[in-house]
Structure 1
Amino acid sequence: MKEVEFLAVDGVPIDEELQDAGTVGPELAYLARCYRSSPRALVFRNPSSDWRLFVVQLPLASRLSLMANPIFAQLTRAWGLNVRFLGVDRDQLVYDFRALLSDRTLKLLVDLLARSDGADAALDLLFDSLAEEMLTVLDRRRGDWHRHLDREHRLEPGAPASLFDRAARCPDFLAQLRGALRDDIVDVEFYGRALRSIDLREGAIDARIAAIVEASLDPVTLAKLARSGAGKHLGCYNWLRLDPRHAMPRAHLLARLPAFATFFAETLVPLDAWGAPQTDEDGDAEVPDTPADAARRRAQRRQPPTFDLRPLAARQDSAHSLRWAGVLERAIDAGQDRAVIEAIAQRFAVGDNVVRRLWRDRPAALGQPPTWQLAQILRRLGERGDRDWPADAAGWESLIASAVPIEAG
């Protein structure tokens, strides 16, 4: 039976002052009312037999009346960039359906929020988006379904690539609050209390959503992921979950090379998904999974052309990268640590000793950079001698800043 929940922030005593136009001005009072009453997330538990969970995270819809007008379609599009649509299927794999949020879907979602028609209309809208990708019924899904598997998000609030992006959640409200302080409408003490209340409430919402998502995932896989030290990385979770037979050697590798967690998720999750058995068009029986079929699937494009420059910067689709990614996948699943180190070194065109030292030292200050940044960092480490490696967190920050210019700003 499906369960529906509309999550909103909790009320606190300062809300009465924030919503008093005589105290803070009409603009800030209106935004405070929107902040208090707007749903922060739509949660659908067990929406169908194929899906365990849908979560739609919504930014503050402070301009809802304008966005409902077709003239202001650009406002709707900008608002939609911060919407998150997460799904957990019956196999407990996690999907990121941002690519399905077309202009039409966003317009219908805005109309739904403006009318407050209830849960059934929202669920129909989500299934309508999934239907175009043949994901409503998983037995009939298209061959490129794997491009929707989540590979980058984390469940920890405040972490890089977190599922919970607070900065883009209520920018109008925060900007108006800063403007009120600048114009001496509110004092510093009131401004500080308002910010603390926002932080506490956003943290509570994030924790509730994270708990709901975790409850829908496989506890055994989550335990392996926790022991590996990779954190609550949904891409790594999918990587372990896609092939439970090889989950142990994969978790072992994450424990030895936690800095490569994002690389493993971005590179190896698509390879695993390509190799998954497919069903026929009628969804009645599996198509025989011959070596030729597997080779043909691996030869397919990773995903349709997009404007995402990160795979290009990381050179994930080059012949060199794909070749060594395949070698790496086989070495990991075979439990051959030496072959794994050699394959990673070949993939990033660095010496084996660079990877061996990271394997041995596991520097926490390195973090878990995305693949395109990791490649630059490894090359910079390869240029240094053994004695020139960073010895503390400040040294690692300096190295990352010098290897990746964008971090220096």
Structure 2
Amino acid sequence: MTQHESIQADAYPIDAELRDDGTGGPELAWLARSYGDSPRALVFRNPSSDWRLFVVTLPLASRLSLMANPVFAQLTRAWGLNVRFVGVDRDGLAYDFRALLSDRTLALLVELLARRESGETPGEAPDGSRGERTLDVLFEALAREMLTVLERRHEDWHRHLARELRLEPALAGNLFDHGGRYPDFLAALRGALRKGLIEVEFYGRALRSIDLREAAVDARIAALIESSLDPVSLAKLARTGAGRHLGCYNWLRIEPARAAHRAHMLASLPAFADFFADSLLAPEHSASAGFDLKPLAARSQSAHSLHWAGVLRRAIDAGQDRAAIEAIAQRFAVGDNVIRRIWRERPAALGQPPTWHLAQVLRRLHALGERDWPATETAWRTLLAQAVPAEAL
């Protein structure tokens, strides 16, 4: 039987003041109540024999009364852009199913969240169990809908392997989008400050409480996901220094017999983590992945890129470091010495840029002389900023 739960934000002493109409006005008080009472994530443990875990992270649904109306379907779609659906299958592979959140799924989610908020659940008993039963209805309906969608798209599961998601909140590409989680509440806080309804000190305390409770929520969600992943692959990933990168985890986990060579390459070139996950994870399916704008923009689906990705994959899995370095250099059209120097020095300030950005950085490094490479963190940040093409600004 599916075990399910919702993850809520912790309560803080400032909540009573935020929910008081006399503090910042009725709008801020209502949004504060919505912020505190809304679930941050829905968790499904063992939803079926194929899946260990489903986690659906939710932004603050402060406009449920409008979104529940079919006339405002566009609001639902905009809200759904910040919903994340992560699954872990029975083999311990992590998936990012956000692309499978259809209009029907989002509409069902909004309807049930609205019913939960208003308490309009059929069969309600006057014993205070209304919220629990409403949430049970929400979980069961969502579980059935998501399992139905996944069953219909069974042949496409490999296309949704998590490649970019990270479990570190502070890094780009992370699972936790704070800006999209509660924009209305933050806007109301700023508006109350501008109007002089609240003091700067109170505003600071409110922001601090938000940071603390959201950090706690993020930690709980990350711990839930990690508890369902393969511990051996997680240990190998931790030793590489690439961080909690689900794409790299999948790359190690999908073929355990080759994980040692892949972990060695990842530890030697942690800055290439996104590239390895993008280009080398499930490569046998890349040619049939259909139209996808992101790889086209990154030029990762060109004949040149696919050829050298294949050469690189074979070199890494064979444990041939020299051949792997040469393949990476050919893939990015730079000199071998550029890759060798990054391998040797492993500059922490380089970080882990996405593939499209990494290509620009490598070309700039290739154009520089040996003595002109960045020597400080500030110089690296400058080079990274200059390597962003105008089209991305």
Q: TM-score, length-normalised on structure 1? A: 0.89
The equivalent residue for 2:173 is: 161
Cα distance in 1, alignment partners of residues 53 and 38 from structure 2: 21
1:121/1:61 CA distance change after superposition, 3 Å: closer
**Cα drift, residue 167 of structure 1:** 1.0
Cα distance in 2, alignment partners of residues 246 and 124 from structure 1: 40
Asked if residue 8 in structure 1 is aligned to residue 8 in structure 2, the reply is yes
Asked if residue 131 in structure 1 is aligned to residue 131 in structure 2, the reply is no
Cα distance in 1, alignment partners of residues 184 and 171 from structure 2: 23
The equivalent residue for 1:404 is: 388
1:387/1:401 CA distance change after superposition, 3 Å: same
- Contact 1:401/1:407 (8 A) holds in 2: no
1:173/1:406 CA distance change after superposition, 3 Å: farther
The equivalent residue for 1:204 is: 216
- Contact 2:109/2:138 (8 A) holds in 1: no
> Counterpart amino acid of 2:101?
L
**Cα drift, residue 124 of structure 1:** 3.9
- Contact 2:85/2:96 (8 A) holds in 1: yes
Q: Percent identity?
A: 68
**Cα drift, residue 122 of structure 1:** 3.0
- Contact 2:44/2:143 (8 A) holds in 1: no
Q: Helix, strand or coil: the match of 2:86?
A: strand
1:120/1:23 CA distance change after superposition, 3 Å: closer
Asked if residue 329 in structure 1 is aligned to residue 313 in structure 2, the reply is yes
Contiguous gaps of at least 5 residues in structure 2: 117-133
**Cα drift, residue 314 of structure 1:** 1.5
The equivalent residue for 1:81 is: 81
Bigger drift between 52-61 and 311-320 goes to 311-320
Structure 2 matches for 1:305-324, cutoff 5 A?
305-306=291-292, 308=293, 310-324=294-308
Asked if residue 304 in structure 1 is aligned to residue 321 in structure 2, the reply is no
- Contact 1:112/1:122 (8 A) holds in 2: no
The equivalent residue for 1:172 is: 184
Q: Helix, strand or coil: the match of 1:46?
A: strand
- Contact 1:135/1:145 (8 A) holds in 2: no
- Contact 1:53/1:88 (8 A) holds in 2: yes
**Cα drift, residue 304 of structure 1:** 2.6
Asked if residue 71 in structure 1 is aligned to residue 71 in structure 2, the reply is yes
Bigger drift between 258-267 and 40-49 goes to 40-49
User: 1:106-128, CA deviations, whole angstroms, 9 ceiling, x for partnerless residues?
Assistant: 11110111123333543443443
Structure 2 matches for 1:2-401, cutoff 5 A?
2-116=2-116, 117-119=134-136, 121-134=138-151, 141-142=154-155, 144-271=156-283, 274=284, 300-301=287-288, 303-306=289-292, 308=293, 310-401=294-385
Cα distance in 1, alignment partners of residues 237 and 150 from structure 2: 30
- Contact 1:267/1:316 (8 A) holds in 2: yes
Bigger drift between 198-207 and 99-108 goes to 99-108
Cα distance in 2, alignment partners of residues 131 and 221 from structure 1: 30
> Counterpart amino acid of 1:152?
E
Q: TM-score, length-normalised on structure 2? A: 0.92
> Counterpart amino acid of 1:252?
H
Contiguous gaps of at least 5 residues in structure 1: 275-296
Q: Helix, strand or coil: the match of 1:167?
A: helix
**Cα drift, residue 311 of structure 1:** 1.2
Cα distance in 2, alignment partners of residues 157 and 4 from structure 1: 24
**Cα drift, residue 145 of structure 1:** 2.1
Q: Helix, strand or coil: the match of 1:150?
A: coil
- Contact 2:3/2:46 (8 A) holds in 1: yes
Q: Helix, strand or coil: the match of 1:168?
A: helix
1:120/1:242 CA distance change after superposition, 3 Å: farther
Give the number of aligned pairs: 376
> Counterpart amino acid of 2:291?
P
The equivalent residue for 1:284 is: none
1:133/1:13 CA distance change after superposition, 3 Å: closer
